[in-house]
Amino acid sequence: MCFRVSTRFLNTDNNYEKQLTALKNFDLPNTFLKDSIFISMNEDVEMYKTKHFLRELESGDKFVPILQKKMKEAGVPPEFLYLAMTESSFDPFSSSSAKASGIWQFIPETARRYGLVENAFVDERRDPVKSTEAAIVYLQRLHDLFGKWYLAALAYNCGEGTVTKAIAKAGTDDINVLLDESQKYLPKESRLYIRKILMMSFISGSTDIMLENGSEYLLNRANNATFVKVPVPSGTSLKDVAESIGISLRELRSYNPHLKHAFTSPLGEKSYLYIPQDRQITFTQNFDQTKQPQKYAVYNTQKGDSLQSVAKKYGMNYQSLMELNNLKSAALKPKTEIIVPLGTTTHSSATVASSNNVEKLYVIKAGDTIETVSKKYDIPVAQLIKTNKKKNALVKVGESIVIPKN
């Protein structure tokens, strides 16, 4: 598809008013439209209006209504939607060399600070709703700190310390001064950051572009069907839910990118899922909330283990174990964490385990005793015996011991 729209899309009365509104929302002066680099972006608009750009808009289609609603309710400028687009192209699985992840690209430390959980079962940085809520709180904090939304956006990109130093060195927080190309108060990426966000906002709001490229439906994306959150028991199989509401497992997983496996987190008593909004009634009618869900544990592979041997030990075929763990290959390395089901294994210790807070399985090696395992995991011997419903403290090589969450 070839794009035919020239810079006229920036010059219509309707688009010009939208641009002024965007500038106002970001606390930017109208004169920013005269910024030389921003003008060069406008003149080289073909760089930004590509099939890739429209695909990014489309890929975020199911998330956009939720993001817009959350930001509007919190009083955060809607243009920050394009901050997420700049950071991740609306891809929940987007990651960086700095270990950032999700549509808002939270690094682990910042994610924990804003209440996002990451463990063997979930990564809430990839949860479109929870990560957006965390990003809103973070952006509000940055706005409170700097007093202007464009400074909050810059701080989100390069860090509040960098922005603070840039303002001190420049002697002002004026955007035109901070983005000065000769002085380089901010890193190059940050100097282009605000400009990219605004450009994406301008293009995506252009009726001309959408109409001339057959993407006019994106103009009404805020009214498109979206998804809803439904409660389910911990450890619920996504396959069971998908079958109950009449969609494929693949589609259901696309609504729940925060889940690392084909089931909800087995920790705690309750969990949740996102499902298409138009399937909510079907879910209420068809999904059995009283069904006892499967319980799971984390098995650390040992030297000599194969996917086939681990699968056999836990009473399943290796293809199912691969699917459960999202594995692309059947090859296993020692000390790899593998999710295994509890209740199907031939090992009595795991069969009778009933705690939802199971964290790991430990395989007894030569020289191990219940006391050495107790010290290794800082779990009382009595608790290990009780959790595994053992009659005594004797263990044998190859036996699986459930290690409860401490």
Q: Supply the pLDDT for residue 47.
A: 54
Q: Same topology for domains 7-222 and 295-404, yes or no?
A: no
CATH class of the domain defined by 7-222: mainly alpha
Q: Cα separation of 28 and 112, whole Å?
A: 32
Topology of domain 225-286, per CATH? Membrane-bound Lytic Murein Transglycosylase D; Chain A (3.10.350)
Q: Cα separation of 233 and 21, whole Å?
A: 45
Sorted by where each begins, the domain ranges of the chain are: 7-222, 225-286, 295-404
Q: Supply the pLDDT for residue 344.
A: 46
Q: Supply the pLDDT for residue 7.
A: 42
Q: Cα separation of 271 and 264, whole Å?
A: 6
Give the pLDDT of the chain (406 residues) as one tens digit per residue: 333 333 444 455 457 787 888 899 999 999 888 888 777 766 555 555 555 666 676 677 788 778 888 898 999 998 888 888 888 888 899 999 989 999 999 999 999 999 999 987 899 999 999 999 999 999 999 999 999 999 999 999 999 999 999 999 999 999 999 999 999 999 999 998 988 888 877 776 655 655 555 554 444 555 555 899 999 998 898 999 999 999 999 999 999 999 998 889 887 778 999 999 999 999 999 998 887 777 777 787 888 888 898 888 888 888 888 877 878 888 888 878 888 887 544 333 332 233 343 457 777 777 888 888 888 888 888 888 887 777 788 887 767 777 876 6
Q: Supply the pLDDT for residue 10.
A: 47
Q: Supply the pLDDT for residue 46.
A: 57
Q: Tell me if 145 sits within 8 A of 138, measured CB to CB.
A: no
Q: Cα separation of 343 and 352, whole Å?
A: 7
Superfamily of domain 295-404: LysM domain (3.10.350.10)
- pTM higher than 0.85, yes or no? no
Q: Cα separation of 79 and 153, whole Å?
A: 10
